[in-house]
Chain A
Amino acid sequence: MAAEEMIQAEGLTKAYGSTQALAGVDFAVPAGTILGLLGPNGAGKTTAVRILTTLAVPDAGRGTVAGFDVVRQPGEVRRHIGVAAQDATLDPLLTGRQNLVLVGELSDMGRGAARARASELLAQFELTDAADRVLKGYSGGMRRRLDLAASMMTRPPVLFLDEPTTGLDPTSRSRVWDAIRELLGDGVTVLLTTQYLDEADALAHRIVVVDHGRVIADGTPMELKEASRSAHLEVTLSSPDVAAVGAIAPLVAGKVHVSDDGRRLSAGVDASTGLATAVVRALDAAGVTVDNIEVRQPSLDDVFFSLTGGHIELEEFGDMDGSSADGSGGDGSGRRDGSGGDDEVGTTTTSASASEFEEVRT
């Protein structure tokens, strides 16, 4: 099995002083796939990346990258990885080109090869015009793109991208997404950490959710949504009808919520397969006419919040808003895209549906 897993973490444990950053984390990334390591700030994502990129030594557990042990064979691991860390890790006094060439030379590429590769990457990341400017004059988005380019200098088979889009505007963000998608075609294995749910949903084959140093969920984006069992049924009646609640109650989980005008019924549902048909039949049998019916799959936001908090608290939304403000609104627009893709019929925005959920569950 190990041969096909390009990145493997087994029981990784790490404490910084009295803070338990990782409390036994396991995951594996098969060759040629993207794993999204998802979690709130301080969940342990960066610590896991630091261990797997040989920057930190685990207290317990084992990590392998491209078949090499990160503790016992750090040199081999470093030859096979590219890293774009969360903090910009480039030299502010060098030009973009000098930075890339330096990274190439220090990776034994040879000066000529490093120069050629640097030019190629600068063109691909649309940094050619800024290539010979000192990094101090770069915008945040340009630095991130250069950081990403630096991680790809040696064409490594394994890439670690630690929150590559945090703090980026929407345009830069989608450029980075495109770059990551292009890597896939070349068989590169990627470990991507992010606190943006839509990012993991859009890019990752598999998602591992970490919180407080532990893995709390592991699966494909679809599996995670299924597992959260929080699909949502919404029925719009032609006219208010008291029989409707009784007709659909056996089919849903929990209480049926009726809107003030009596025409809209909503409820959480466990399984969505065949549900719409069953609901229509039940309502028809009760003599109720239906205008519209929606069964909405949960967005990853719903999954994430139900996994990490159990409840959706206003405070958490405050935090998310705070980070999206840093990201110049990139979060907002991205999330809309993400939840739009999840909706089967509905077009409600995620935050609106989240508050509805709370209402329905209580």
Chain B
Amino acid sequence: MTTTTLMPPVGFSAPRTKGAVVGRLADVWAMTRRNLVHISREPMQLSDVTLQPVLFTILFVYIFGGAIPIPGGGTYVDYLLAGMLALNLVTSTMGTAVGLSTDLHEGMIDRFRALPMWRSAVLVGRSMADLLTSCLCALIVGITGLAVGWRPGANYISIVGGFLLVLFFAYALTWIAACVGLNSKSPESAASFGFIVLFPMTFVSNALVPTGHMPGWMQAIATWNPVSAVVAGTRVLWGNPNPSGRIQAWPMQHPVWAALIWSVVLLAVFAPLAAHFFKRRTTE
């Protein structure tokens, strides 16, 4: 310990108070960077958005590719890629649940709560960091797809729109994941959310195979599954084969709109709910 004084003679000056909005954005940005540093410290955390998409895309294309006929024609890889993007982004939202649950179980949350910061920045910062890793994931899926023969048949704006449609849906899902993370007893139980909800949700849809062969009841679920709308909407925007267009149900006839509505509704319901759970969880 040096003998210099810890406090300058000037003494305390209350921290300057920024405008509410600017202050909140600054808090969110600080928290986002913190979560990005976490990812850089433990790169294996990133494997589900870096290695997994490459592996899954290659496996599905070469293993199932020849065996799955696409009703109405087209190659399996053109059919698959939108589903592959959805599969990877949807399942990676599990990371949000685990990350928040971990935060709550470490003393760090008490430090944040005693600081003059915007409390919800803990949640928003987490979701922003997850959105950024989702963008990385989307890029990797796209590049891997191109490498194994995926060819979109639309203009660039429409292609980008397809990516954004899935990213927006995944962002909405992170708020469901946040609710799960805020209500789970441990990070491990938060992780089970992925296997119990997210994987079945993606598989019982048109993401990986055409739904025609499924039993009737399962077809009904798949038709109304938001993941199906998102994937069909992306196929439409990318100009790739979309056999779901033959199904006479509103979401399959208007998949882009259905995907947007699903995303907005999920966001409108689960973001405030997450804020509520966070407040409840951190109030004594």
Contacts and interface: CB of A to CB of B under 8 A. Distances in A.
Interface of A: 16, 50, 53-57, 75, 78-81, 83, 85, 87-94, 98, 102-103, 105-110, 121, 123-126, 134, 150, 152, 154-157, 175, 178-179, 182-183, 185-188
Nearest to B27: A106
Given A90-B111, A93-B38, A94-B34, A109 B15 contact: yes
Interface string B98-113: 0000000011101111
B41 interface: yes
Given A56-B284, A93-B41, A182-B5, A107 B11 contact: no
A150 B115 CA distance: 11
A98 B115 CA distance: 16
A124 B6 contact: yes
A325 to B, nearest CB: 23
B107 A186 contact: no
* A-B pairs with lowest CB-CB distance, top 5: A186-B7, A89-B111, A87-B107, A89-B107, A106-B117
Contacts of B213: none
Contacts of A54: 113-114
Contact of A108 (B26, B106, B114): B26
A156 B26 CA distance: 21
Interface of B: 1-2, 4-9, 11-18, 23, 26-27, 30-31, 34, 37-38, 41-42, 106-108, 110-117, 121, 283-284
Contact of B116 (A75, A87, A157): A75
Contact of B283 (A57, A87, A88): A57
Nearest to B106: A92
A109 B17 CA distance: 9
A16 B26 CA distance: 35
Contact of B18 (A88, A90, A108): A108
A124 B110 contact: no
B114 A78 contact: yes
A293 B46 CA distance: 74
Secondary structure call for the B interface: loop
B37 A94 contact: yes
Given A90-B108, A108-B16, A156-B12, A186 B114 contact: no
Contacts of B8: 155
Nearest to B112: A106
B98 to A, nearest CB: 14
A357 B34 CA distance: 56
B243 to A, nearest CB: 45
Nearest to B121: A106
B284 A78 contact: no
Given A55-B110, A94-B38, A124-B1, 15 more contacts: A79-B14, A87-B107, A89-B108, A91-B108, A98-B34, A106-B27, A106-B31, A107-B115, A107-B117, A108-B16, A108-B116, A121-B6, A123-B2, A124-B4, A156-B12
Given A125-B1, A187-B11, A103 B6 contact: no
B210 to A, nearest CB: 44
A157 B12 contact: yes
B42 A107 contact: no
Given A91-B108, A183-B6, A57 B284 contact: yes
Nearest to A160: B114
A88 B26 contact: no
Given A57-B284, A75-B116, A106-B112, A93 B42 contact: yes
A178 B38 CA distance: 34
B246 to A, nearest CB: 50
A50 B284 CA distance: 9
Nearest to A134: B41
Contact of B30 (A79, A102, A188): A102
A106 B31 CA distance: 8
A106 B106 CA distance: 18
Contacts of B37: 93-94, 98
A75 B15 CA distance: 12
Contacts of B38: 93-94
Contact of A186 (B1, B11, B108, B117): B11
Contacts of B26: 105, 108
B227 to A, nearest CB: 32
12 contacts: A79-B116, A85-B111, A90-B111, A94-B37, A94-B38, A105-B26, A152-B7, A155-B8, A155-B13, A178-B1, A186-B6, A187-B7
A127 B82 CA distance: 50
A259 B284 CA distance: 56
Given A57-B283, A87-B107, A179 B1 contact: yes
Contacts of B23: 108
B34 A150 contact: no
Contacts of B34: 91, 94, 98, 102
A326 B8 CA distance: 35
B40 to A, nearest CB: 9
A150 B111 CA distance: 9
Contacts of B115: 78, 103, 106-107
Contacts of A108: 15-18, 23, 26, 116
Nearest to B283: A57
Contacts of A182: 5-7
A103 B111 contact: yes
Nearest to B13: A155
Contacts of B1: 124-126, 175, 178-179
B116 A107 contact: yes
B11 A155 contact: yes
Given A124-B6, A157-B12, A175-B1, A85 B117 contact: no
